[in-house]
Amino acid sequence: MSNQRVVEVVEDLERLMLDFVRKHHITHAEYRAATDLIVAEVKAGEESLLLDVFLEAEATDVENESNSGSTLAIEGSFYLPGAPEVTGPAATMPHRPDEAGDALIFRGTVSGADGKPLAGAELDIWHADAEGLYSNIHPGIPDWNLRGRIKTDADGRFAVRTIVPPPYEIPKDGPTGIVLNALGRHFFRPAHIHLKLRHDGYVEHTSQLYFEGDEYLDNDVANAVRDGLVLRIESGEDAELAQRFGIAGTFNTATYDFVLVEEK
């Protein structure tokens, strides 16, 4: 039995590709190079990376057009469900004893579109380490390092200690990197923190947060930076947070308030 949505979009895609082959006089050798690229992407485990770099931001833009909550952003290729829960007043992302990078307390609130704070909302957070590498993906890093799930308190607030990640560089030597190189593009994404937010009765919210001053904000290889997702890192003293997290002197904080959309 045919599926109406599949007929609609796949037949349109088919027409687009046939027109494309004709328009560019694609040779048989070029056609075969394209199928070989797909095989190479799968062999390298980069098929999602290729699509996420080139297409995913457009799909989230489409969703943002009719989204009344906080701005959505791409998931990227490295999300894994089941990260450890991080709890307590000094909630800290799983990390190595000698984890490199500047300490950051990321904090904020989660509320509904009506402004009602959401207690017990889950923030599923993952980001790269100071080398730009992701645990469970890149070798040599303990499983679940810098991946964690934290819940908001009774007032819908959260605060978690982690490190400021650096810009992320797409592997240069893999098939996706070869394509980017042939296009004359660089391989960098601005530094970012990935998040998925969940709360019963609300639509799961996938986004990413960036940092002011990053040289790749305006030329992200995945073109995924959007207004309102760029955080300012405030460096200063905050007695309450310092006590809570047992840190002395000045430290970095970054704040973001999420708005989730109710399920229909």
Residues of the shown chain interacting with Fe ion in the complex, contacts defined by CB under 5 A: 76
Pick one of 41, 78, 109, 205: the residue that binds ligand MBD (CB under 6 A). 78
Report how far apart the first and last C-alpha atoms of the chain are (Å, whole number). 29
Pick one of 91, 222, 254, 259: the residue that binds ligand MBD (CB under 6 A). 222
Residue 214 DSSP symbol: -
Classify 189 as helix, strand or coil: strand
Q: What is the footprint of ligand MBD within residues 38-77 (CB under 6 A)?
A: 49, 52-53, 74, 76-77
CB 175, CB 235: distance < 8 Å: no
The token pair that represents 180 in the structure block? 């980017």
> How far is it, in rounded angstroms, from Cα 255 to Cα 162?
13
Q: Pick from ligand MBD, Fe ion, none: which does 77 bind, CB < 5 to 8 A by kind?
A: ligand MBD
If one asks whether residue 189 binds ligand MBD (CB under 6 A), the answer comes out as yes
Helix then strand then coil, in percent of the chain rounded to 5, is 25, 25, 50
The DSSP result for 118-149, as a single string, is: -TT-EEEEEE--TTS--TTTSTTS-TTTTEEE
Nearer to Fe ion, 69 or 76 (CB): 76
Residue keyed to tokens 């980017």: 180
Residue 255 CB, nearest distance to Fe ion (Å)?
21
Measured from the Cβ of residue 186, the count of other Cβ atoms closer than 10 Å reads 15
Residue 247 CB, nearest distance to ligand MBD (Å)?
27
Residue 105 CB, nearest distance to ligand MBD (Å)?
22
Residue 132 CB, nearest distance to ligand MBD (Å)?
10
Nearer to ligand MBD, 106 or 168 (CB): 168
Footprint of ligand MBD (CB under 6 A): 49, 52-53, 74, 76-78, 168, 189, 222
